[in-house]
Amino acid sequence: MQEYKLKRGFKPEMDRIHECLEEAFPSEIKEEDGKFVTSYGVLSKITVWIEGKKLAVDTVADTTLTDDELILDSNKRFRDFLLGATGYTAKERLKQAKKEVSK
């Protein structure tokens, strides 16, 4: 499970997170125990919820799939989802993760 800070102006609201999921992943999104669950490409399960003021994401990858295009598409869509949901680019998220580790 990964937690991501939300940029100022990006409210920790499940409705907004659901919209970001719909934009990034053209697949069915279910709600289970206050968490959104979906799957796409090599990501066999994506679980998303708000924990405190952070976005929590848990993913399960299907390691049996070896199609490079599918892997790249899944990763791009996941990064696009995180950008839309948190407001931070991959580079900014990496910088924050490094800062958290050094604390």
Write a three-state SS string for 43-59: EEEEEEEEECCEEEEEE
Domains and CATH numbers, the chain: 2-97 (3.30.310.190)
Q: The pTM is what?
A: 0.91
Residue-wise pLDDT for 25-84, tens only, equals 999 999 999 999 999 999 999 999 999 999 999 999 998 988 899 999 999 999 999 999
pLDDT value for 82: 96
pLDDT value for 59: 95
pLDDT value for 48: 97
Q: Which of 47, 50, 77, 49 is nearest to 59 (CA)?
A: 47
Q: Per-residue pLDDT for 94 more than 80?
A: yes
pLDDT value for 102: 86
